[in-house]
Amino acid sequence: LLYKLSKQPLASKRDAVLISPATYKPDTTRKNDNVVEWSGWCCVDVDDYESKGDLQNDLIGRFSTWRFTCYSTASSTRSNPKFRLVFPLTRNVRSENIRNFWYALQAELGDLADRQTKDLSRMYYIPGKYANAFNFIFSHDGAPLDSDELIFKWPMPEKTNLNSFFDRLPAAMQQQILDYRKNKLDQLPVLYHEDNYRQT
């Protein structure tokens, strides 16, 4: 289906339809609370990727374990390829597990997209032959993603504040900030009141 859509000439993404892995409760609208599950696939938007040589070879080398299809977006250029990675899943992901799965997926892929994204009803523009864009599509044959396996491997911190800028930072950067704050505190002068000071 994605390959068939990729051959369709489109002036811009305004002329394109949207696809989504989400299925909804009967007779409801597109809303996170109405999502029942993600049905058999997931997708990652990638806007800022620094390729080491040929993009196709780079992505296949990096994610050689997984089966995926990569297709360009309407804003993709040769100097800055923008694309989506579509992964088939071993099973559907129930709504109560989607946020945990999304967090784990981003961790597994090296934070290609925002792992804190909260939108269960996410939608994506279809591939196409977009005018004035660098269009491409390719696939790699591997294993489908196992959501339970990834959630077990990359558990989402229970106390993560999804609205906190700090909690959205990568773990390494969080640690650097904590170390910096601790270093600053260690440099503050310590004041003792003689009534409370006891020599040991």
Identify the pLDDT of residue 160: 52
Does residue 117 have a pLDDT over 70?
A: no
Pair 35, 120: CB distance under 8 Å: yes
Report pLDDT digits (tens) over 86-108.
999 999 999 999 999 999 999 99
31-40, 65-74, 154-163: least confidently modelled range: 154-163
What is the average pLDDT value for the chain, to the nearest integer? 86
Residue 35's beta-bridge partner residues? 24
27-36, 115-124, 184-193: least confidently modelled range: 184-193
Identify the pLDDT of residue 61: 93
Pair 88, 140: CB distance under 8 Å: no
Residue 190: DSSP 8-state: P
pTM of the full structure = 0.75
Hey, what long-range contacts does 158-164 have (CB within 8 A, 24 or more apart)? 160/116, 162/116, 162/118
Residue 46's beta-bridge partner residues? 83
CA distances to 27, 95, 132, 166, 167 from 183, in Å: 57, 42, 51, 18, 20
Is residue 37 within a helix (H) or strand (E), and if so which, with residue range?
strand 35-38
Spatial distance between the Cα atoms of 106 and 169, rounded to a whole number of angstroms: 13
If you search the block for the tokens 């390494």, which residue do you land on?
A: 172
Report pLDDT digits (tens) over 139-166.
999 999 999 999 999 998 876 555 566 6
Pair 52, 155: CB distance under 8 Å: no
